[in-house]
């Protein structure tokens, strides 16, 4: 909140567009956030970080800027049963548009991906695997590194939805070696309406602009427009400058707490709550994966969830 106030009280200028002092200050803080995010998730360069409105926006950018440009009729996108709507609907829309096919991998009763089934579902038509890192309802932590390796072995690309993993433990895109990774700032105490899309360098060459105007242009004439270099090529219009500056402050807060401390606190609470709830016969916990984050979904027998 202090970061937002500071921006609006003392800077309040657009970025990249002005040569005056306030615009330079705003641009400096805005671009410093890109450096902070890059360090936070382990990207090789800050230029691989695209500012978005959130996870949903990031997935839609990949669908429209990359997948629509790379997939053809009959190609397949592979997701899982546990995906958030944001990692289902954009692919359904794209498949309908292109005549591609959405393939869904099932999960077991514990809420874990059936990896043998996943392997069987990957074919030479599979162009993209889009999978959540941590389930928003079940808490399941998926083996995304293993899934990334499978994608590479089968010459397809992978998008990781890290919206639910980013607050709980260290996410390292260099280690995961994914093609795309998305998350929302509000999951780690940043303002709403801010998100991140990480793109592997090789994929930028395969992406076309998703929206036009603002910072995504280098030179404009009525005859021809020259597009800016990534990441600005995919950041059309005036961004959520104050929110992005607030994201930097939020990341610094999380880093000061430290993921070792965060994980210990969360696992202690998860273990305690699960054990206590299991003592109550009327409660049925949904999602009992051996590797899960700190969320418990449950039913009370004989009672509607709304009640």
Mean pLDDT of 274-302: 96
pLDDT tens for residues 61-108? 999 999 999 999 999 999 999 999 999 999 999 999 999 999 999 999
The residue that leads in pLDDT, 218 or 37, is 37
Residue corresponding to tokens 């929302």? 184
Counting residues of the chain whose pLDDT is more than 70, the rounded percentage is 98
- Six token digits for residue 10: 């003392």
Residues 86, 88, 91, 93, Cα dihedral to 10°: -90
- Which pLDDT score is estimated for 216? 66
Give Cβ neighbours of residue 52 (< 8 Å, ≥ 6 apart). 58, 61, 182, 194, 195, 196, 197
**H runs (alpha helix) in the chain:** 2-10, 21-41, 55-61, 68-70, 89-98, 115-121, 144-153, 173-176, 201-204, 241-257, 259-278
Query: Once rounded to an integer, what is the mean pLDDT over residues 232-252?
Result: 94
- Mean pLDDT of the 185-201 span: 97
Residue 224 pLDDT > 80: no
CA dihedral 63, 101, 157, 179 (to 10 degrees): 20
Query: Taking Cα atoms as reference points, which of 226, 234, 185, 188 lies closest to residue 48?
Result: 234
What's the pLDDT at 266? Answer: 96
Model pLDDT, residue 230: 82
pLDDT tens, 104-156? 999 999 999 999 999 999 999 999 999 999 999 999 999 999 999 999 999 99
pLDDT at 217 over 70: no
Predicted local confidence at residue 16, as pLDDT: 85
Query: What token pair was written down for 246?
Result: 């607030």
Number of CB atoms found within 10 A of residue 123's CB: 13
Q: Give the number of other CB atoms < 10 A from CB of residue 99.
A: 11
For the record, the structure tokens of 176 come out as 């995961």
């Amino acid at each position: 909140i202090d970061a937002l106030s500071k921006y609006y009280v003392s800077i309040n200028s657009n970025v990249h567009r002005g040569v005056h002092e306030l615009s330079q200050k705003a641009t400096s803080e805005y671009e410093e956030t890109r450096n902070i995010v890059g360090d936070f998730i382990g990207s090789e360069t800050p230029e691989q970080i695209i500012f978005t409105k959130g996870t949903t926006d990031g997935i839609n950018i990949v669908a429209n800027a990359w997948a629509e440009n790379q997939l053809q009729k009959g190609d397949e996108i592979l997701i899982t049963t546990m995906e958030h709507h944001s990692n289902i609907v954009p692919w359904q829309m794209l498949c309908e548009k292109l005549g591609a096919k959405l393939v869904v991998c099932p999960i077991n009763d514990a809420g874990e991906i059936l990896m043998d089934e996943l392997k069987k579902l990957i074919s030479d038509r599979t162009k993209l695997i889009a999978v959540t890192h941590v389930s928003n309802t079940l808490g399941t932590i998926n083996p995304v590194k293993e899934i990334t390796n499978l994608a590479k072995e089968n010459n397809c690309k992978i998008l990781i939805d890290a919206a639910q993993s980013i607050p709980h433990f260290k996410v390292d895109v260099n280690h995961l070696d994914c093609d795309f990774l998305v998350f929302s700032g509000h999951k780690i105490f940043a303002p709403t309406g801010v998100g991140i899309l990480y793109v592997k360098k090789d994929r930028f060459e395969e992406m076309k602009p998703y929206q036009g105007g603002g910072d995504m242009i280098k030179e404009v004439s009525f005859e021809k427009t020259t597009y800016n270099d990534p990441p600005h090529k995919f950041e059309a219009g005036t961004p959520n400058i104050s929110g992005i500056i607030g994201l930097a402050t939020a990341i610094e807060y999380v880093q000061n707490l430290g993921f070792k401390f965060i994980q210990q606190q969360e696992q202690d609470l998860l273990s305690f709550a699960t054990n206590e709830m299991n003592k109550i016969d009327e409660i049925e916990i949904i999602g009992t994966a051996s590797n899960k984050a700190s969320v418990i979904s449950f039913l009370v027998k004989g009672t509607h969830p709304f009640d």
